[in-house]
Amino acid sequence: MAGNDVGAASLSRLMMDELDLDSLDPVAAQIMDRSERALAEALQATADGTYQSELQTDGFDGHPLRLAVTVTIDGRRILLDFAGSSPQSRHGVNVVLNYTRAYASFAIKAAIAPDVPHNAGSFRPVEVTAPPGSVLNCLPPAPVASRHLVGHFLPSLIFAALTQALPGRLLAHGADALWMCVWRGDPFTLTTFHAGGSGARAMKDGLSATGFPTGVRAAPTEVIEALTPVRQHRRELRTDSGGAGAFRGGLGQTLQVSCGTSTLWSVNANVDRLRFPAAGAAGGQPGATGALTTGAGEALPAKQLVPLEPSDDVLLEMPGGGGGFGDPYTRDPRAVLMDVVNGYVSLEAARSAYGVAVSYVGTAGALVRPPSSYLLDLVETARLRAE
């Protein structure tokens, strides 16, 4: 609030006093008109055509949801039609049309003109339609509280269609939907947000444990443990979860949670990509699917209230982003070596997924393993990649 007050006072001094304006409306109109023109010009520079893609999300009770889009670029305008998507659900993952418009418009701006400000003007060249009664244009009384479990997939869906018009420029699929968990016990209720990996970028690896398209951040462990009885025993990047590729997908996280009370507690884990992994792009491999289990490995149901005993713990293994933009065998062997050193890729995956021979030559059982603890065998790597 204080920051907003300072910003408003500074804007008032600049516009009203220094520039002697009576209203900010003409300035706002200029910004929006210029944003509209900039996005329209970027669309005009993109090849006209009709492009399609589809993907599946986990849905509920073993019944996946289908998301489909047809993207039509016509001069200075673009139409996104989500016909073919699943009907609305009786569960709370439905999306209202305004939410669909918001994430679709964001995806278009991010893909085609990322430097254009995000405002009403940059929405104008983008038309979004979805069949009434579908999961992306639900009708009352459809429940919508967990709409992010569908809506967050829209940028990946749209990017997959636009790769035909913008080859080699867009992200591979990522974990997409945030993992939102509601923990309850006596006397607390805690909602936490967690991110898997984002997809590989056109010229860089994907970001690990980083939400996309949302930028919501997870609360630090120290804050959670200071305010609630929830205890986080492990919170680490998940080795081998990022899809292999010339550029690797971002890694998901592993999180192990217990409750420090002697009473019953529960979790409702609104999570996805337990069944359908993030797809790679341009020859890259998919990321790892997620898993929701007890610490002993017993599967827990997602998207529903799970009662827990005081002695129970919960293990969240978040999905990784898809690899992209090239065969994994074209990745620089030294980059694979550093992935092994950093714990991003296992010795086994370096060999099987990337065709890179790395061996550990350090002290057995050492907890600290510097780069000198590993040996890259370029001769063996050449042999593996030639097979």
What angle (nearest 5°) sits at the alpha carbon of residue 25, between those of residues 21 and 30?
100
Q: Are residues 99 and 157 in the same domain?
A: yes
Q: Per-residue pLDDT tens for 259-297?
A: 999 999 999 999 999 999 999 999 999 999 999 999 999
Q: Are residues 158 and 223 in the same domain?
A: no
Q: Are residues 57 and 142 in the same domain?
A: yes
Q: How far apart are CA 143 and CA 28, in angstroms?
A: 36
Q: Are residues 124 and 52 in the same domain?
A: yes
Whether 21 is in a domain gets the answer no
Whether 245 is in a domain gets the answer yes
What angle (nearest 5°) sits at the alpha carbon of residue 240, between those of residues 236 and 241?
70
Is residue 378's pLDDT more than 90?
yes
Range 64-77 average pLDDT:
98
Give the domain extent around 321.
Answer: 177-327
Q: Per-residue pLDDT tens for 148-198?
A: 999 999 999 999 999 989 998 999 999 999 999 999 999 899 999 999 999
Range 124-132 average pLDDT:
97
Q: Are residues 155 and 66 in the same domain?
A: yes
Is residue 22's pLDDT more than 90?
no
Whether 25 is in a domain gets the answer no
Is residue 21's pLDDT more than 90?
no
Whether 16 is in a domain gets the answer no
Is residue 215's pLDDT more than 90?
no
* Contact between 316 and 179 (Cβ < 8 Å): yes
Please provide the DSSP assignment of 359-379 as one string: EE-S-TT-S---GGGEEEEHH
Q: For residue 61, what pLDDT is reported? A: 84
Whether 99 is in a domain gets the answer yes
Domain boundary (139, 170, 201) is at 170
Whole-prediction pTM value? 0.92
Q: Are residues 256 and 353 in the same domain?
A: no
Q: Are residues 137 and 254 in the same domain?
A: no
Q: Is 269 helix (H, G, I), strand (E, B) or coil?
A: strand
Range 253-260 average pLDDT:
97
Q: For residue 357, what pLDDT is reported? A: 98
Whether 356 is in a domain gets the answer yes
Average pLDDT, the chain: 95
Domain boundary (107, 139, 170) is at 170
Which residues does 184 contact at the CB level (< 8 Å), separation at least 6?
190, 265, 266, 267, 268
**Range of weakest confidence among 24-28, 35-39, 55-59, 293-297:** 24-28
Q: Are residues 291 and 251 in the same domain?
A: yes
Whether 93 is in a domain gets the answer yes
Q: How far apart are CA 378 and CA 373, in angstroms?
A: 16
Q: Are residues 260 and 342 in the same domain?
A: no
Q: Are residues 70 and 42 in the same domain?
A: yes
Q: Are residues 51 and 99 in the same domain?
A: yes
Whether 9 is in a domain gets the answer no
Domain boundary (147, 170, 193) is at 170
- What is the tally of structural domains in the chain? 3
Q: Is 148 helix (H, G, I), strand (E, B) or coil?
A: helix
Q: Per-residue pLDDT tens for 337-370?
A: 999 999 999 999 999 999 999 999 999 999 999 9
Q: Are residues 382 and 283 in the same domain?
A: no
